[in-house]
Amino acid sequence: MEIFNSIYQGITKRIDKHEPSVNKDDFFLLKTGTYTFILVLLIFGTINLFEGNMILVFLNFGTVLIVLGHLLWYLRTYKYELISTLITAFLTIWLTALLVITEAEYILFLFTLLPLVSILFLKKKMGSKITGLALLILLLLLFIPITSLNQIILLRSKFIFLFVFILIFIISDFFKIIYTCSINKLENARKEAIEANITKDNFISKKSHQLRTSLNNIVVLGKMINDLNPTKNQKELLDTLIASTNNLVDIVNNIVQLPGIDISYKERKKIKFDLFSTLSNIIDSFPSETKKNVVFHVNDFKNFNREIIGDPVLVKQLLLNILENIIPFESGKKPQITISVTNQKETSDNIVLVFSIEINQIITYKDITDNKLLDDKQNDQLIDLSISEKLLKTLGRRLEYKKLKEKSRFTFSLEFIKVVYKEAPTVRKEKVNLIDSNILIVEDNEINQQIMKLSLIKLVKNVDVAENGKMALDMFGLNRYNLILMDIQMPIMNGITATKKIREIEKSTNTHIPIIAITANAMLGDKETCLSAGIDDYLSKPYQMEDLISKMNNLLS
């Protein structure tokens, strides 16, 4: 079994690196089957050469060249169905020609294997057609006086050959049906697992939203009470309340990270995002204590544009899994991590980028396909990157590890769509101080409305409230606002739709009103969804009032 696995991995190795979308089983089957066919042709051709039968020499070696040419064509185009049909047809023609020329009974034994090859290589319908054609050829050669075969072979032998031919076809077809049913069951199980994961994600997202909304109110109210100069005893109680709330915030943050540990990739909507900003956000997501003890560096991109279209959530999942595993690794020296992205391949529409994570430590790493046994000390130091490995495997790609001099490097590649830029009109932005600004709060929860309004009323000129995105659009058309604080999950019209409509309206006026998303949607990828819709900044609940004021000042100035 290990020998077969080694052969399988060796033959399909180039698929992982160069053409990950190609089915590895089809590639293995076609390549090994074609090599076997070529080997048989070479053996027959060599025997015929020694016998001096030049007609068969030309037939065999000519067929070798034709089959080899089609195999090379397949390695360039990877059109499995077309090439496998052609090669099976060449096999049928070669056996027919061999049978007509030699009139040898042993060729009939090879002929009876055609149903097996046809059913194995081709889809059921096409395999049945080629088998039917081969059966028709066999009947003509055995019972019609085209050649002397119908006279040489006894009637009993003719029926035996036909019986074996049909029996092999029935058995092959039966096993093909069983195999197809098994594959369909596996595919259905995979789909059910994906649906279960989506249900899990939705449940956690919903509960996270509810928890974050309530926690945000406690955090903001705690800050407001703290500003009222409480007594010493009240201050101690208030500090305990805030500390407990912060602990709850950490617990919620840990819970919402669970959907990111899904080991199968779910196709998500591709959006435009800034790759450099995404990488910077990944580093910013680490605790301040980690950032003090680890030196991070992100190389700027020179040979391609930072803005691409793809799945930023996948990028975050992969990089976070690698970084979170290599940072705790202890080697006695301060970790220095460099994240680089290079352009591997580019077309007019797409671009393949190679992500490289390099750390100044030698890390013990074993991928999921490596069965090498490690000692206890090595196992204790072994990092687990199975999440990244399995995610990449479902995409037909792989995580690669290279040990350098006093360094370790992890690399993987992903394909993205290139952004097509159109000349944008000049956008007019007004600078205004926070104290002179008119603010629109878009929030469906009445308690949240009151808390946000109380928090801002002394800091700005005016605060209006809209209960949903549709009301916000109406108020946006009637009033002049300097900044909008937008909730995302609302009835009638959500924040994403409202933002997109506001941005459409602004195109005709060449204006741009800053929008900050303040939302309890804090799952992986929510921020990128907001930014791609036209939102300028993002703040997840629960938040600190100082952070909101800082973001408002930045956008207004």
Instruction: Tell me what the mean pLDDT of segment 123-132 comes to.
Output: 82
309-366 residue pLDDT tens: 888 777 887 888 888 888 765 556 678 888 889 888 888 888 899 999 998 887 766 5
Domain residues for the domain of 301 are 271-418
Q: Is there a domain that residue 429 lies in? A: no
Q: Are 514 and 555 in contact (CB under 8 A)?
A: yes
* For residues 443-458, average pLDDT: 86
Pair 367, 515 in one domain: no
Q: What type of residue is 173?
A: D
Same domain (yes/no): 447, 351: no
Same domain, 16 and 158: yes
For residue 34, being part of any structural domain is answered with yes
CATH number at residue 342: 3.30.565.10
Residues 393, 438 within the same domain: no
Angle, helices 232-256/155-226, rounded to nearest 10 degrees? 170
User: Mean of the pLDDT values across residues 453-473?
Assistant: 90
* pLDDT at 501 exceeding the cut of 80: yes
Residue where one domain finishes, among candidates 173, 191, 209: 191
Are residues 465 and 520 located together in one domain of the fold? yes
Q: What is the pLDDT of residue 329?
A: 57
Boundary of a domain, candidates 418, 448, 475 = 418
Q: Which residues pair with 25 in a beta bridge?
A: none
Residues 396-412 have pLDDT tens digits of: 888 888 888 778 889 99
**Of the listed ranges 89-93, 185-189, 209-213, 544-548, the one predicted with least confidence:** 209-213
- pLDDT at position 376: 40
Percent pLDDT > 90 in the chain is 7
Together in a domain, 276 and 244: no
Question: Considering the domain boundaries, does residue 451 fall inside one?
Answer: yes
Indicate the residue among 217, 236, 261 that finishes a domain: 261
User: Which region holds residue 353: left if phi is over 0, alpha if psi is between -120 and 50, else beta?
Assistant: beta
Mean pLDDT of 209-225: 73
What does the pLDDT look like over 222-280, one tens digit per residue? Answer: 777 777 777 766 765 666 666 667 666 666 666 655 444 444 555 666 778 788 878 88
Long-range contacts of 322-328 (CB under 8 A, 24+ apart): 322/357, 322/385, 322/388, 322/399, 322/410, 323/282, 323/286, 323/357, 325/383, 325/384, 325/385, 326/357, 326/359, 326/361, 326/363, 326/383, 326/408, 326/410, 327/286, 327/290, 327/294
Q: How confident is the model at residue 1 (pLDDT cuts 50, 70, 90)?
A: low
Q: Give the Cα-Cα-Cα angle 358, 362, 365 (nearest 5 degrees).
A: 90
Residue 428 maps to a domain: no
Is residue 406 domain-shared with residue 443, that is, in the same domain?
no
Q: Are residues 411 and 458 in the same domain?
A: no
Higher pLDDT, 508 or 523: 508
Residue 255 belongs to some domain of the structure:
yes
pLDDT at 76: 72
Q: Are 63 and 41 in contact (CB under 8 A)?
A: yes
Does the pLDDT at position 45 exceed 90? no
Within this chain, do residues 307 and 401 fall inside the same structural domain, yes or no? yes
Based on the fold, state whether residues 464 and 326 are members of the same structural domain. Answer: no
Q: Residues 134-151: pLDDT tens digits?
A: 888 888 888 887 777 777
104 and 46, same structural domain?
yes
For the beta carbon of residue 225, count every other beta carbon within 10 angstroms.
Answer: 15
Residue-level pLDDT at 369: 42
Burial class (CB in 10 A: 0-12, 13-18, 19+), 244: exposed
> Strand, helix or coil at 517?
strand
Q: What is the pLDDT of residue 429?
A: 61
Which residues pair with residue 400 across a beta bridge? 411
- Note whether residue 47 is domain-resident: yes
Same domain, residue pair 177 and 38: yes
pLDDT score, position 209: 67
What integer is the mean pLDDT of 148-168? 82
Which pLDDT value is given to residue 422?
A: 61
The segment with the largest mean pLDDT, out of 52-61, 122-131, 319-328, is 52-61
Tell me the per-residue pLDDT of 69-123, one tens digit each, with 9 for 90 and over. Answer: 877 877 777 677 788 888 888 888 888 888 888 877 778 888 888 888 888 777 7
Alpha-carbon distance of 337 to 358, in angstroms, equals 6
* Domain-located, residue 426: no
Q: What mean pLDDT comes out for the span 294-315? A: 79
Kindly report the CATH number assigned to the domain that includes residue 511: 3.40.50.2300
pLDDT at 207 over 60: yes
Q: How many domains does the chain have?
A: 4
The least confident of 172-181, 238-247, 497-506 is 238-247
Confidence of residue 464 (pLDDT cuts 50, 70, 90): very high
Question: Does any domain span residue 440?
Answer: yes
